A and B are shown apart, each in its own frame.
Chain A
Amino acid sequence: MTDRPHRRPRILRNLNAKVASVPMILTALVIFVGGTAWTIVYSFTSSKLLPRLTLVGLQQYDRLWETPRWKVAIENLAIYGVLSLVFQFVIGFLLAALLDRKIRFENTFRTIFLYPFALSFIVTGLIWQWILNPSFGVQAIVRSLGWESFTFNPLYNPDIVIYGVLIAGLWQGTGLVMCIMLAGLRGIDEDIWKAARVDGIPMWKTYVFIVIPMLRPVFVTTVVLIASGIVRVYDLVVAQTSGGPGISSEVPAKYVYDYMFLAQNLGQGFAASTMMLIPVIIVVVPWAYFQFGRKRRG
């Protein structure tokens, strides 16, 4: 090239793009990173209603891990998280695969499956609170059909209440997973299916050995989406059970809110929210980086 002498330094190349991304970079740094750092610092203080920089070491964390309510919340998050990840994934994929078989009324089905996603968690929670209410929900309907001893009231049984929340979460979230998976499946070249058919490979084998490996990036996106939704689950629980009966359906995000604003103990709330950040950092970030980053280098 003849313009070598005029070549601009590296930092000025693609200047437009760089200028355009400055606001987003600033937002990310100031609001996300800055806010996070601020929260972590103040989680080591004894701040009550207003933030005050009086350091007390790990006192807030000690108290946090001695609190039965926090332990219940963590346990619930684990149950809800694992099960909703597995079920949303499996059901979402199965629905997408079924819809991909060129069935009739595909649009109708897709609409039906996706509709719950258009509702907020608050609405979902309220709907399922009504459906699962023993005096006028599923239980009452089945009993009115003559099956008098039928009992189905998960929201009023402390041992299984979290599964009642899980049902609502699945109902709401599976449609989106299905949609993403369906888009992925549509992206698979028709020729691959034809080639598999010519070779006489059975359909299930085609899915398991050819299609699913090809969908890997789609799966990663889905997992990140679902996982981030799980950690911050709050409104669903508030609308459906408000943490009850007792404290049996508490979740970490609700603990954070209640201690920050209700108990007027910011330090405790910050400590809890810092603990919530840790699984996100440990699991989601490196893994997503690894998944997305490797492809770019390759």
Chain B
Amino acid sequence: MERRATIALATIAVVVLAAAGCGKKKSEKSAESDKSAEMGKTTEGGNTAEAGKTEESGKSGGVDLEVTHWWTSGGEAAAVAEFAKAFDATGNHWVDGAIAGSGDVARPVMISRITGGKPMGATQFNHGKQAEELVQAGLMRDLTDLATKEHWKNIIKPSSLLDSCTLDGKIYCVPVNIHSQQWLWLSNKAFQDAGVPVPTNWDEFVKAAPALEKAGKVPLAQGQQSWQTTLTFQVLLVAIAGPEAYNKVFGEKDKAFAAGPEMAKVFAAADMARKLSAKSTAQEWNQATSMVIKGEAGGQIMGDWARGEFQVAGQVAGKDYTCLPGLGVHEVIQTGGDAFYFPKLQDEAKSKAQETLASVMLSKETQVAFNLKKGSLPVRGDVDLNAADDCMKKGLAILAKGAVIQAPDQLMSPDSNTQINDLFSEFFKTPKMTPAQAQKRFADLVAKAK
């Protein structure tokens, strides 16, 4: 009896350990399929995992190229499968190296692989300063020749995207999408249940909050990871103080302005967001989005990648959910996004495959297929986007107007961004920290930022 119990316990322990091993493993398909299984979106994850397996066995002819990225939520996995499909169609094989968690988890793994001498075939970064030192150290491949041949300068719009990939006149990465953070996603159902009309801007949203609370809903869903709280703050900054203020703070690092009365309003709004999201217990951004999808929360301030989640859940923009770019106040979008970098490799065939992958990623068909699933905007202006939905059209219109700002990653070093992230994750979970205290510390960080 006792022995049997022991064996049973041991079995449970082994299973738990194995499961945890999967969860923790920072690479390859197990993480991918694990994550998507958890999300309950077996189709997309299944595809990618499947694709990974066939490539591992290795067909003759093409080259296996490992691509690392941190796209693991349902919508993201569906989008990345489009890249894999397009690349496999060239006769090469996309070996999926999804790293579960967020970019904050994935980037250290990627960087240590590159600096440690075991580079992958290609890797995702947010373009800007994240990979700057890797480029300076000569670890990344120069793509200038390919870029000139394919006229990237003419096709990539807005041109600031390519500028972020450029260092000393040479091009080192392929921008694949434009992501903007400045969105408020609203659940039409939640507002219906609360008996108030769906707001059209931030002020109306704040006014509607008591009604939402009365109906037992969390007014503002907010994930707890530090980048998410910072995102909320940055979006409020652009929406309330306007894009010039954003440029002054993040671009020019103007300390006096950061400590001034204009910014005090932004901190007051952040204080309000903190109160509205006090009951939100979600950790990951997509958990918070799913609160909005289910109508448990009124809204979420999140980048346009949230649109992918609504799409996977089968919701329709304008009918089931509403999106307000720039919180309905200042309609501006950020032109940050994801880019792929190609580490220098010794293997000739693989280097060749890197070029193929780079042109595949920029091709018209892939751009459309990928960005429709991802929720982001394509990096070229000459593609056909009839399939775009309500929210995507809003984004494209703003982009066409040229109302764009640069992403914090393009303006500040990861070090400064981490410090600011720390500050806001503390602010959002420390009710006794006043907006004035937070503003003072923020101004100090801005003054020291690089």
Contact = CB atoms under 8 A, between A and B. Distances in A.
Interface of A: 48-50, 67-69, 72, 105, 107-108, 111, 115, 118-120, 122-123, 126-127, 134-135, 156, 158, 242-248, 257-265, 268
12 contacts: A48-B413, A68-B426, A111-B9, A119-B16, A122-B20, A134-B281, A244-B429, A246-B427, A247-B426, A264-B133, A264-B414, A265-B415
Given A135-B281, A242-B283, A261 B17 contact: no
Interface in B224-242: 224-225
B107 A262 contact: yes
Main secondary structure of the interface of B (DSSP, over half): helix
Interface stretch (B108-116, B175-183, B250-258): B108-116
Contact of A49 (B13, B17, B111): B111
A108 B9 CA distance: 11
Contacts of B415: 48, 259, 263-265, 268
Nearest to B19: A123
A120 B14 CA distance: 11
B428 interface: yes
Contacts of B346: none
A262 B108 contact: yes
Nearest to A250: B422
Given A247-B422, A247-B426, 9 more contacts: A49-B134, A108-B2, A115-B9, A120-B17, A158-B430, A242-B283, A244-B429, A247-B429, A261-B108
Nearest to B5: A108
Nearest to A235: B24
Contacts of B111: 49, 261, 264
B201 interface: no
B429 A245 contact: yes
Nearest to A263: B418
Nearest to B429: A246
Contacts of A261: 107-108, 111-112
Interface in B165-193: none
Nearest to B225: A242
A240 to B, nearest CB: 11
B6 interface: yes
A68 B422 CA distance: 9
A156 B20 contact: no
A265 B441 CA distance: 20
B425 A244 contact: yes
B442 to A, nearest CB: 12
B137 interface: yes
A198 B130 CA distance: 75
A111 B6 contact: yes
